[in-house]
Amino acid sequence: MKYAIKRKMAIVLLAVLPQSIEAQGYLVSNSNSDDDTTTDNTTYVTNQSTVNNVVVDQLKTDTIEKSLEQGKRFKSGGANGYAGAQYIYADKVRMFNIPLGMDVGYGFGIEANVPVVFAKKEISGTGKDEEGLGDISGGFYYHFGTPSSSGLSILSFLYKSTSGDENKGLGSGADAYSVSYKYARRFNGRYTWHLLGSYTLNNDYTDQYGAQIEYGDAYMAMIGGSMPCLISDKVTTSAKLTYFHADETTEKDSWGEWKYGETDVTDLWIQWDSAQLLSGIPLGLGIKIPLQNRVKNGGMTINPDKKFSFYVSIAGLF
């Protein structure tokens, strides 16, 4: 039972935003972290955060800027959009994500993420490697302002479904709702500041054994900057500092009640993006440098292994 709960906690944010990485959290069962699962939950948190607030964020911003340049901010026709393919590598779980989005006019847009998850046997819960559809997320956003004047603001709302099989480690079993605010301000036509904040409300879930899982909510903050790469102006280099926190999760069943610790994760993301190297096709590469990985459970604090990860992205704007 506890092994299943630990695995499910690992994936609760696998496909939303954090908005989103979607009850998230790191499980510490009392004083005995008896398997590798306790060092892998942050991997799922990283994946969700990466998809919603790092990788897809760049595509969404590029699409909005294209709409603004073409004067479509207050028009209902001639929408711009994006479709892409992204691969996120993070230790014992990998994800292939298909991001879709469209700026439909009057400042509104729609978006979705369709993930395919590859979970190693150490965290799948079935004793073997698993792969398949993850938790699909979708929603809408509203933007106002421009990057070069007052700054571009993007307010996003996402819903995470339960399309992934939680018994195979491909989904969380619980749906979630997220809201985020992004602000980007450009200076001198070359340098851009980025600010982002998000909050995710995770619903409860009853597992296959009848246990009631109350996932903790989560929030994330990001600050960073972008500038032309020193090697080529066709490539933009970004550095973004992210902080992620997930509240504790509670499991209740006929045997009693267990609480699993809060999670605090701090990472530095280095990104390289370009829409000019391949005739207007946006390309992206990002590397995560872990700075802090801390779990609090009652009076005990542990620092699980820090894991590097990376992503690659290719997309088309239309």
The answer to whether residue 289 scores a pLDDT higher than 70 is yes
Confidence of residue 77 (pLDDT cuts 50, 70, 90): low
User: pTM of the full predicted structure?
Assistant: 0.83
* CA angle 188–193–199, rounded 5-degree value: 155
Burial of 194-227, coded b for 16+ CB within 10 Å and e otherwise, reads bbbebbbebbebebeeebebbbbbbbbebebebe
User: Helix count (H) and strand count (E) of the chain?
Assistant: 4, 18
Residue 242, strand partner residues? 222, 267
Give start and end residues of each alpha helix (H) in the chain.
Answer: 2-11, 41-49, 56-69, 121-124
- If 0-12 CB within 10 Å is exposed, 13-18 middle and 19+ buried, where does residue 307 land? middle
Helix (H, G, I), strand (E, B) or coil at 173: coil
From residue 57, give the alpha-carbon distance in Å to each of 29, 61, 113, 257, 279.
Answer: 35, 6, 12, 39, 21
- Report the mean per-residue pLDDT for the chain: 78
Measured CA distances, 104 to 73, 154, 220, 235, 281 (Å): 9, 14, 27, 28, 21
| pLDDT tens, position by position, 121-173 | 877 778 899 999 988 999 999 999 999 888 999 999 999 898 988 888 888 78
Domains in the chain, CATH or no CATH each: 2-317 (2.40.160.40)
Q: For 2-6, 61-65, 116-120, which range has the lowest pLDDT when averaged over its residues?
A: 2-6
C-alpha R_g of the chain:
19
Residues 212-221 pLDDT 10s: 888 888 899 9
- Residue 57 pLDDT greater than 70, yes or no: yes
DSSP symbol at 39 = G
Tell me phi and psi for residue 304, to 5 degrees.
Answer: -60, 165
